[in-house]
Structure 1
Amino acid sequence: MDILRPALINISGRIYREIPVKEEHYEDEEEEDFSYSGPVADQCIDEPCDAVNIEQTEKGFRCAIDVPSVLYKYIIGKKGETRKRLESETKTSISIPKQGVEGQIVITGPQKSAVASAVTRVEVLIESFRRKQPFTHFLSFALNHPQVQEGFQRFKEEVLEHCSQGLGVDESIFQNPAKLHLTIGTLALLNEQEVMRACELLQQCQGFIREITEGKPLALEVRGIEYMNDDPSMVDVLYAKVITQDTSDRLQQVADRLVESFLAAGLMVKEWDRVKLHVTVMNTLFRKDPSVEDKGGPGRQNMKDREAFDARNILEMFREYFFGACELDSVQLSQRFSSDHSGYYCSAGHVTFS
């Protein structure tokens, strides 16, 4: 079915059909220990060459592509096999900077169509492997306001007092109160240029954000808990629900529009039809790594690393628990595995509602 319904990849506004790539893995992989076999994209012979910025030179044609250095190895391949195959099939030459040096991959060739074909193959290959990179940043609403933190601390103390007899319920699986947040979407930003691009896009989103919020902070409540699997006796993550005090859907609108904007720019991968408005309060992944964020998609830890807990008593006693109220006035581009002076994630950029 993957062949009949291939995934679509958006590259600079152009849509390509992705053909499954056979990956080969080797022991003791080093920076060039990656290879592929077969085509990496459904090539269109009649695709106009002006779809990419190709320059004419004295010796033929040339195109430079911005690529984060962490992805060079996927274009090089094991012992240079991938690059050699691409060069042979497209009759071009592909120049790649040294590993760790940020720069451009330069493709040259005697024919403009050949360079265009090589550029397309390289871009699709890059995009395929980009999706496998762990996410580095995420758009978030910070919900670590004092009242919510205090409510969370009371919740934690009462759960440990009344429900610790439940399988797997202990202090290690609770969220850090300073990092209570609502995740809007995750991003794999692989160099400073990509971080700057995401910050610029976030600034551009301020217009529709202020239109939706009418230029005012949103009054929110964090109330009630829920889980998302079928068996309350075997739960991996427990969430607190977030609602606007005026019962409007303005928070949902802001979150969904942000995701739409970052998806259109190719900075985010679609995971859900709508953003789930919830805050992680307990997560079994915290047992092994208190800094891990509860988020699926790229970079998610293997499910076998989880040790589920019995949430039946917690759900019975605290299903409508009130964590607190707060006013939300900003959205952050948060850096994963970081902390600022307040204990929240370091911010690469933010915009305010008012």
Structure 2
Amino acid sequence: MFAHGSLARFSQLARRPLRAAGSPLRCCLQGSVGPNNLPSSAMEQGQGATNNAPKHRKTDSPVQRWRPVSTQASSPKAHLDDLSNSARKQTVGTSISDSENLASDENTMEVMGEKYPSSVEVDVPLMRFLKGKGGSVQKQIEQETGVKIIFPSAKEETLVALEGKSAESIRKASERISKILEEAVQSPMLDYSHFISLPLAIHPALVEKLNNFQRSILGASASNVDSDKDESLSEGSMEEIDEAANPSVSVKLPVKEEISVIVKMDNKGSQPEFGIDKSIFIKPKTFHLTVLMLKLWNKDRIAQASEVLQSISSQVNEALENRPISIRLKGLTCMKGSPARARVVYAPVLEIGGEGRLVRACKVITDAFVKSGLVLERDAKQELRLHATIMNVRHRKSKKSNRRNDSFDARAIFRQYGEQDWGEYPVPAVHLSQRFKFDEGGYYHCCCSIPLPEVAQTE
């Protein structure tokens, strides 16, 4: 998605408009560039102050920011078009926006100890990519450019200080940082922060069935299966979506062909010989269907995602023909492999009525987010297959050296629950959910939601 090549020089940024390149990193130039090639305050607004400034006046260092754009519009259709246009106009590289107090004359910058101070604003989820393992990336940039990188001491702070010996060294360091952040955004190492969900945990009967399911497998010691507050890995991984997207790897298990296995529970709520423990079960209070995974690494992208979802409320309901939608969960299915070496176990989703309305509504949602530029290229190619994950080895808390080969023996589970009818449930809303954060009821924190047609209440 990113164009290749270096960023424009600071001096060029002041003289020509920024070019579009489809990057999720938006360049927002708030100032111009002085004769010394260092960014300065906007010439139109600050020229008077610059001309009258005494020489060698101490000023704040320039601040460079990486920032996406959120656009407002008056109608849903125009709104989506504007969001799409803003995404297409996103510029490769860094947003080089400086502090308003920096004067343009090179003589007005006080150079203390032959050091040129500057700073960049890096969103918290991207900070670790700039550091690298053991500080390797940071050290490499410092060696190549001669610029010292100073990270903030507080976890929630985003301002990274730069100290160089020249304007050119600061420019080179900024270019390297920009490239690293661009690669980080596309990297699988940057985890998904949000997702579009269809909440099912709002149905107490379903939650109780899931609790009973876990108790029967883990034993009496797991009677408080839903009391565990460590739910940071409850959300389905992209691995599930990858595997479910291809029908050839989603296997309906032939329960009758499975070899009989006697399940022996221990008193710790686990079956270590089968690779089953409490941590691989999805928490019932977070049970849901996943429509789309998103990487929203700052507040601007979260706000834009909320706008997109709210703007398509009427289109989603039109796809549902303005009628309530209900689903049925029946049986268990394994993604890839066999029940003897299962990795992900989920309940297939059937739309009541079989009209395809739910799939059409989900497509409206997916298309809108792709058009807005908030979906990465890799994720935009995924084919939707709605499923409700029940067990996933990716959530295992134990430290295994080779997680790719991690699995569990699910044959006994499928023998008992392979044809389980979990029931029929209406889908009342669509949520923009935040991973790793939970509301009071135990479900994922809702950043934004749109209602779906309600089932008429009978007297």
Number of the residue aligned with 1:337: 436
Q: CA 1:216/1:342 → structure 2, altered by over 3 Å: closer, same or farther? A: farther
- Residue 156 (structure 1) aligned to one of 211, 214, 231: 214
Matched letter for residue 325 of structure 1 = E
* Matching residue's letter, 1:283: N
Are 1:237 and 2:295 counterparts?
A: no
- AA paired with 1:127? E
- Taking the TM superposition and a 5 Å limit, the aligned residue runs for 1:54-133 are 59=35, 65-66=66-67, 68-70=122-124, 71=126, 78=137, 82=141, 101-102=157-158, 124-130=179-185, 131=187, 132-133=189-190
Aligned equivalents of 1:266, 1:210: Cα separation in 2: 23
CA contact (8 A) 1:143 1:182 kept: yes
User: Given the two structures, how large is their TM-score scaled by the length of structure 1?
Assistant: 0.66
Offset of residue 64 of structure 1: 6.0
1:316 paired residue among 411, 415, 423: 415
The reply on whether 1:188 has 2:295 as its aligned counterpart is yes
Asked if 2 retains the 8 angstrom alpha-carbon contact of 1:64 and 1:105, the reply is no
The answer for the alignment partner of 1:282 in structure 2 is 391
What SS does structure 2 have at the residue aligned with 1:175? coil
**Offset of residue 170 of structure 1:** 4.9
In the TM superposition, what are the counterparts of 1:292-307 in structure 2 within 5 Å?
Answer: 304=403, 307=406
User: Aligned equivalents of 1:80 and 1:177: distance in 2?
Assistant: 45
Q: Distance in 2 between matches of 1:302 and 1:141?
A: 34
SS at match of 2:425: strand
- Separation of aligned partners in 1, 2:359 and 2:174: 38
**Larger radius of gyration between Structure 1 and Structure 2:** 2
Gap change, CA 1:72 and 1:339, over 3 Å in 2:
closer
2:440 counterpart SS class: coil
Structure 2 match to 1:250: 357
Give 1:209's aligned residue: 316
**Residue 28 of structure 1 aligns with which residue?**
none
SS in 2 for 1:207: helix
Pair 246,139 (structure 1): closer, same or farther in 2 beyond 3 Å: same
CA deviation map 1:41-93 (0-9, x unaligned): 25699xx95416667556479696426433367568855754896x89xxxx9
For the structure 1 residues 318 and 80, does the alpha-carbon distance in structure 2 shift closer, same or farther, using more than 3 Å as the test?
closer
What letter corresponds to residue 412 of structure 2 in structure 1? Answer: N
1:258-294 C-alpha deviation (Å, 9 max, x unpaired)? 23333343433334521221111122344418xxxxx
Distance 1:284 1:195, change over 3 A: same
Residue 224 (structure 1) shift:
1.7
Distance, in Å, in 2 between the alignment partners of 1:249 and 1:233 is 33
For 1:262, the equivalent position in structure 2 comes to 369
* Residues matched between the structures, number: 295
Three-state SS of the structure 1 residue aligned to 2:388 is: strand
- 1:212 shift after superposition: 0.9
Aligned equivalents of 2:397, 2:150: Cα separation in 1: 38
Rounded to whole Å, the distance in 2 between the matches of 1:102 and 1:266 is: 24
Give the drift of 1:321.
1.3
State the Cα deviation string for residues 295-319 of structure 1 (Å, max 9, x = none): xxxxxx9852874221223323422
Q: 2:286 maps to what in 1?
A: 179
Letter in 2 for 1:313: A
**Paired residues of 1:233 and 1:311 also in contact (CA < 8 A):** yes
- Give the distance between the partners of 1:230 and 1:176, measured in 2 at CA: 24
Gaps of 5+ in 2: 9-15, 20-26, 40-63, 68-120, 220-260, 265-270, 454-459
Q: Which moved more, 1:95-104 or 1:331-340?
A: 95-104
Secondary structure at the counterpart of residue 449 of structure 2: strand
**Equivalents in 2 of 1:226, 1:330: separation in Å?**
25
Question: How far off is 1:219 after superposition?
Answer: 1.0
Q: Deviations over 1:183-213 (max 9, x none)?
A: 2232232233332222122212323212212
Describe the SS at the equivalent of 1:346.
strand
Looking at structure 2, the residues matched to 211 and 104 of structure 1 have their Cα atoms a distance apart, in angstroms, of 47
What are the Cα deviations for residues 319-341 of structure 1, in whole angstroms up to 9, with x where unaligned? 22111211102111222222222
CA distance in 1, matches of 2:129, 2:215: 49
